[in-house]
């Protein structure tokens, strides 16, 4: 059994999108940030007090990257990460570490840090996608992780830096995907 602990419109959205892409049965448990993911009940599930937490048959997987990597490897038929390709896997780990350690925390450091992080992401995206739609050439968990952070920025008034042509195009491709539309629809109906 797969259980996704989520809070709507937050980091957990990335794992939620991947679950919809794969089409595997799963259940969700909602912890709104307003009510607090730091309640004793949630801390008993994830001592870090953060979402997402993906529980696989009783085993806890924390961090967006952890959940996405597990799902991509467990369900290879969904083609969310090229199989038997160490170089592409390493590039995926590189991207997801960059997104979690540099891009995600940038907003909390102020607008200059946010603009700097996204300018770096735009450059990295241009180099890695080589003019194609997706970050690693074909669609992968990196696109999902990247999109979730970009989506948050686009939907936070005043946060969107200009001149991110590659990432703007990527955002449009992602918004057209049925799994993305479904996730946004489902999460928009959850009270925050
Ligand atoms: N590095 C973590 C970040 C997760 C994270 O910061 N989640 C936020 C929501 S976007 C959260 O749960 N915040 C609640 C809190 O810190 O109390 C990951 O990639 O999963």
pLDDT higher than 90, residue 10: yes
CA distance 106 to 109: 5
Residue 54 and residue 105 in one domain: no
How many domains does the chain contain in total?
2
The pick from 51, 62, 144, 145 for probing ligand 1's pocket by mutation, whose C-beta has the most ligand atoms within 8 angstroms, reads 51
User: Are residues 71 and 86 in contact, defined by beta-carbon separation less than 8 angstroms?
Assistant: no
Q: How far is the CA of 92 from the centre of ligand 1 (A)?
A: 20
Which atom of ligand 1 is nearest the CA belonging to 62? 20
Note whether 74 and 99 are same-domain residues. no
Alpha-carbon dihedral 26, 28, 29, 33, rounded to 10 degrees: 140
Instruction: Looking at the structure, tell me whether residues 148 and 184 fall in a common domain.
Output: no
Average confidence score pLDDT of the chain: 96
Both 161 and 94 in a single domain? Answer: yes
Domain shared by 27 and 9, yes or no: yes
Q: How far is the CA of 11 from the centre of ligand 1 (A)?
A: 6
Find out whether the peptide bond into 3 is cis, omega within 30 degrees of 0: no
Q: Phi-psi region for residue 59, left (φ > 0), alpha (ψ -120 to 50) or beta?
A: beta
Q: Are 5 and 12 in contact (CB under 8 A)?
A: yes
d(CA 89, CA 97): 12
| pLDDT(191) > 90 | no
Mean pLDDT of 141-153: 98
Place of tokens 């997104």: 99
Is residue 23 located within the same domain as residue 99?
no
Does pLDDT of 192 surpass 80?
no
Choose the residue to mutate in 8, 11, 29 for probing ligand 1, maximizing ligand atoms within 8 Å of C-beta: 11
For 113-133, the pLDDT digits (tens) are 999 999 999 999 999 999 899
Q: Which CATH number is 12's domain given?
A: 3.40.30.10
* Residue 101 lies in domain: 86-177
pLDDT of residue 144: 98
Task: Report which protein residue has its CA nearest ligand 1's atom 16.
Answer: 50
**Residues 74 and 94 placed together within one structural domain of the fold:** no
Q: What are the pLDDT digits (tens) for 30-84?
A: 998 888 889 999 999 999 999 999 999 999 999 999 999 999 999 999 999 988 8
Cα separation, 73 vs 37, whole angstroms: 28
51 Cα: distance to centroid of ligand 1 (angstroms): 5
Ligand 1 pocket, residues with Cβ under 6 angstroms: 10-11, 33, 37-38, 49-52, 63-64, 100
Based on the domain organization, do 38 and 99 belong to the same domain? no
Nearest residue (by CA) to ligand 1, atom 11, is 50
For ligand 1, atom 13, the nearest C-alpha belongs to: 50
């Amino acid at each position: 059994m797969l259980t996704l602990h989520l809070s709507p419109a937050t980091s957990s959205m990335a794992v939620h999108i991947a679950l919809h892409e794969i089409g595997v049965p799963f259940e969700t448990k909602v912890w709104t940030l307003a009510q607090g993911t730091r309640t004793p009940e949630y801390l008993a599930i994830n001592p870090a007090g953060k979402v997402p937490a993906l529980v696989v048959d009783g085993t806890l997987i924390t961090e967006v990257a952890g959940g996405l990597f597990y799902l991509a490897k467990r369900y290879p038929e969904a083609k969310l990460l090229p199989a038997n390709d160490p170089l592409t896997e390493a590039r995926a780990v590189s991207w997801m570490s960059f997104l979690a350690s540099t891009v995600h925390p940038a907003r909390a450091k102020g607008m200059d840090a946010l603009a700097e992080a996204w300018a770096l992401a735009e450059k990295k995206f241009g180099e890695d996608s080589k003019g194609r739609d997706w970050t690693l050439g074909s669609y992968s968990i990196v696109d999902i992780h990247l999109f979730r952070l970009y989506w948050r920025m686009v939907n936070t008034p005043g946060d969107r830096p200009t001149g991110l042509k590659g990432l703007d195009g990527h955002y449009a491709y992602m918004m057209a995907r049925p799994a993305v539309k479904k996730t946004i629809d489902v999460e928009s109906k959850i009270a925050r």
